[in-house]
Amino acid sequence: MDAARWQRLSPLLDELLELPGALRAQRLLQLADHDPDLARQLRALLQMEHAAGDFLDGPLLAAAAPHFRTGDRIGAYRLVALLGEGGSGQVWHAEHLQRAEPEGLALKLLHRDCVDAEARRRFLREKEILESLSHPGIVEIVAAGATASDQPYLVLKRVCGEAITDHCRRLQLALPARIALFLQVCEAVAHAHGRGVVHGDLKPANILVTAQGRVKLLDFGIAVCACAGDAAVAEAFTLHYAAPEQIRGEGAQPCSDLYALGVLLYELVTDRKPYRLRRHSDAEWEKTLLSLEIEPPSLAMRCARSEREPAAAAMRLDAIVLQALQPQTARRQPSVDALAAQLRAYLESRSSARGWVSRLRQRAWRIGG
């Protein structure tokens, strides 16, 4: 998608997002009468914005009537309960007919109306990508196949958890604990990058934290594998976590994942996204993103309310976060491992500084006493 096309699509996308479902469908039909290709791209963007490849988000557009029901069998699996439905498929809680999994399984199934050559190719690519990855922070694939009606499906180990941002807010985690969770995310993403895989859609909904405090990276539905010669999917991204090069239509690259991690890190540190909008409009978001008017995290920080961050430490963290959010790819950290190393060094220096201050206070108390 070139910049001129996106300039045409962006305001229409804003308009459609503000309409209720019935009016949105009617407006799409009107647009299709004049420009069928434009309407098709808008439908795809609407699905990506609210589903963005994550089947566990609720559907934005009317999905195909469910073909399967609780208790139905697909291959060696029984469907237990519908976990969620998106614009292109469903995710079911499933169980193997002969052996049990402690957390159960998740069966990801394409809608019948979405089964075309491209959808099959992407499903196969997701299967191959997940099979190439082996990391405790990445969801594990169990099996793949097709139903009797030739609908592709993937079976994954089910991950019970909550989005990383929700987890941090609910527990009111202090800054070091938030960064420690983020470092788990970095380890999983670095593992993928080491095998030539770019996730392309890193966001809180795709990064869950389990009850044991372990991070799990989900949904490689739009991921690409450079080593396999995959072309980047230029139209697939979530705007609020997309890098400038993705918005320009260049597709996801390792540096794009790093940018998305920068957005997530800013959000974990401050409890808000790095951009302030007068209205939550994607056109305004795009303009703000490309102009990069970002407030330093230290000025927006709210997560460590009981702690006052020393000025030197705050400036160091600001520099790390803002480097990841640079619009020019060459100005970001050279890799996710480099970003993680900066954060580990920051935590170490922060701990040392606080220990030194604590010792000074104890000494002053003894002298004063």
Q: Is residue 56 part of a domain?
A: no
Residue 55 confidence class, pLDDT cut points 50, 70, 90: very low
As a whole number of angstroms, the distance between CA 310 and CA 298 comes to 10
Residue 103 in contact with residue 62, Cβ under 8 Å?
no
* Mean model confidence pLDDT for the chain: 82
- Residue pair 192/199 in contact by the 8 Å Cβ criterion: yes
pLDDT (0 to 100) of residue 35: 80
User: Residue 186 and residue 202: Cα distance in Å, rounded?
Assistant: 11
What pLDDT shows up at residue 247?
Answer: 78
More reliable by pLDDT, 286 or 186: 186
What token pair was written down for 41?
């791209």
Tell me the pLDDT band of 62, cut-offs 50, 70 and 90.
Answer: very low
CA distance 122 to 119: 5
Q: Is residue 51 one of the residues assigned to a domain?
A: no
Cβ 274 vs Cβ 295: under 8 Å:
yes
Average pLDDT for residues 65-93, to the nearest whole number? 85
Residue 167 in this model has a pLDDT that exceeds 90? yes
Whether residue 266 is found in the same domain as residue 307:
yes
pLDDT in tens, 87-112: 678 899 999 999 888 888 999 998 87
In the prediction, which pLDDT does 85 show? Answer: 75
Confidence bin at 212 (pLDDT 50/70/90):
very high
For the chain, percent of residues with pLDDT exceeding 70: 76
Q: Which of 7, 43, 24 is nearest to 249 (CA)?
A: 7
Residue 55 included in any domain? no
111-to-43, 89, 149, 221, 358 alpha-carbon distances in Å: 16, 5, 11, 15, 59
Q: What is the mean pLDDT of residues 244-268?
A: 91
Active-site annotation, residues: 201
CA distances from 277 to 90, 272, 290 (A): 33, 12, 13
Among candidate residues 65, 72, 93, the one with its CA nearest the CA of residue 148:
72
User: What's the mean pLDDT in 118-143?
Assistant: 92
Say whether pLDDT at 310 is over 90.
no
Q: Which domain holds residue 31?
A: 1-36
| pLDDT(240) > 90 | no
Query: 77, 91, 195: which is closest to 138 by C-alpha?
Result: 195
267 plus 170 within the same structural domain:
yes
Please state the rounded mean pLDDT for residues 325-336: 95
Digit-coded pLDDT (tens) for 352-365:
665 545 554 555 55
Residue 192 belongs to a domain: yes
Q: Is residue 268 part of a domain?
A: yes
Q: Residue 280: is its pLDDT beyond 90?
A: no
Under the banding of pLDDT at 50, 70 and 90, the label for residue 302 is low
Question: Pick from 196, 194, 189: which is nearest to 260 by CA?
Answer: 189
- The rounded distance, in Å, linking the Cα atoms of 302 and 313 is 15
Both structure tokens of 236: 């697939």
For residue 202, what is the domain's CATH number? 1.10.510.10
Same domain, 150 and 222: no
Residues, the chain? 369
Q: Are residues 153 and 165 in the same domain?
A: no
Q: Which of 115, 131, 157 is the last residue of a domain?
A: 157
Q: Identify any residues that bridge with 225 across adjacent strands, giving them in sequence order.
A: 197
DSSP 145: E
Q: Is 80 found in the same domain as 167?
A: no
**23 occurs within a structural domain:** yes
- What pLDDT is stored for residue 34 in this prediction? 74
Please tell me the predicted confidence (pLDDT) of residue 57. Answer: 42
pTM for the model stands at: 0.77
Could you tell me if 251 and 302 lie in one domain? yes
Query: Where a domain ends, among 109, 130, 157?
Result: 157
Could you tell me if 255 and 330 lie in one domain?
Answer: yes
Q: What is the pLDDT of residue 281?
A: 56
Residues 166 and 255 in one domain: yes
- Taking the C-alpha atoms of residue 293 and residue 218, their distance in angstroms, rounded to an integer, is 30
Question: Does residue 364 sit within a domain?
Answer: no
Pair (309, 224) in one structural domain: yes
pLDDT class of 305 with cuts at 50, 70, 90 = very low
Higher-confidence residue: 367 or 48?
48
Number of domains in the chain: 3
Say what the pLDDT of residue 204 is: 92
Residue 228 near residue 220 (C-beta atoms within 8 A): no
Does residue 240 share a domain with residue 100?
A: no
277 compared with 332, residue with greater pLDDT:
332
Q: How far apart are CA 281 and CA 278, in angstroms?
A: 9
365 in any annotated domain: no
Q: What is the CATH number of the domain that holds 84?
A: 3.30.200.20
Other beta carbons less than 10 A from residue 58's beta carbon: 11
Q: Quick check: 285 pLDDT over 90?
A: no
Q: For residue range 29-51, what is the model confidence (pLDDT) as tens digits?
A: 778 877 888 888 888 777 665 54
Residues 150 and 290 both lie in one domain: no
Q: Identify whether residues 134 and 188 lie together within a single domain.
A: no
The Cα–Cα gap between 92 and 109 comes to 8
Q: Of 116, 140, 157, which residue constitutes the final position of a domain?
A: 157
Separation between Cα atoms, residue 244 and residue 327, nearest integer Å: 6
The C-alpha angle 179, 333, 329, rounded to 5 degrees, equals 125
Query: Which tops the pLDDT comparison, 13 or 213?
Result: 213
Kindly report the number of other CB atoms within 10 A of residue 55's CB atom.
24
Secondary structure element (H or E) that encloses residue 113, with its range: none
